[in-house]
A = this chain, B = another copy of it.
Amino acid sequence: MHIVIIGGGGMLGRKLALALGRRGEIGGRAISQMALADIVGPAIPEASFPVTAHRLDITDRAAVDGLLADGADVIYHLAAIVSAQSESEFDLGMAVNLMGSINVFEAARALGTTPKLIFTSSIATYGGEIPEMIEDWTALNPQTSYGAQKAAAEMLLTDYSRKGFLDGRGLRLPTISIRPGKPNKAASSFMSSIFREPLQGREAICPVDPDYAHAYLSPRRCVENLIIAAEVEAEALGMNRCFALPGRTHLIGDMVEDMRRVAGDAVAGLIRWEPDPEIQKIVLGWKAHFNPAKALALGFVRDDSFEDNIRFFLEDDIEG
């Protein structure tokens, strides 16, 4: 089985590549080769099969075709311009998140083999005047350009699947926390950094109040879900190929208390509470409460508590 990961240099892409390198199979079928592509050439993980790394700009359709020249059984399309950057650089977000995604869908279609295509969308596609509890049939009404571009691509992913051009699976990711590495340009970046930095002895800024509610998924469970997404039978997906992944909804204040229990007062004290209207303008437009019935029925997984998220970070990602 030939795997391609577009966005293979990002946080999730690297973890997914590492996990697939260790497993050597998806759904009982052996992986024969894996190509990792990103705007900068991704690192190559250990694996029992050949892994190649590629520089790729998905706004260049010919380059995407070139990446898929050897065919592909499963394509992960994780590449995106994240929320705060898509807000400040609208045209770049359109070019990558919508037009780049169409390039990926078209290149997959051109293979003529109906490859599986796992696309990461976001719960940032929800917003606006909708009921408090989000069901699988709740309208997408994004209040960021990032969300709008993802939502538009979702509509196409389901249609390309209906037409048999590809076999799409679009996952609306909760905010991934605790992310390792450095802060990024996502408005949600603080939702990891206020834990990641203190757990490593550094200060971090929290731009929202302790009662801010939001839905989270750990990187570890997210990678498990990305693999499950390639294993689910197409017939089980029904008429909408895109749906919210299961997460857990927590208040920021409760999460900080979880960290205090695990790591102590001194660590929790490294958070500086400094409200930021620019960040709040974006994140207060996001929705917090989900009933991910479809994803749970399909076998997707979530963390049992935010303490899990902290434990997974300490086990998988802590530096030094």
Question: Residues of A with Cβ closer than 8 Å to B?
Answer: 90, 98, 127-131, 136-145, 148-149, 151-153, 155-156, 158-159, 162-163, 238-240
Contact = CB atoms under 8 A, between A and B. Distances in A.
Contacts of A128: 137, 238-240
Given A137-B131, A238-B128, A148 B156 contact: yes
A139 B143 CA distance: 16
A220 B208 CA distance: 51
A110 to B, nearest CB: 12
A123 to B, nearest CB: 14
Contacts of A148: 155-156, 158-159
Contact of A155 (B151, B163, B238, B239): B151
B129 A238 contact: yes
A131 B131 CA distance: 14
A161 B90 CA distance: 13
Contacts of A152: 151-153, 155-156
A156 B239 CA distance: 23
Contacts of A238: 128-129
Contacts of A158: 141-142, 148
B145 A159 contact: yes
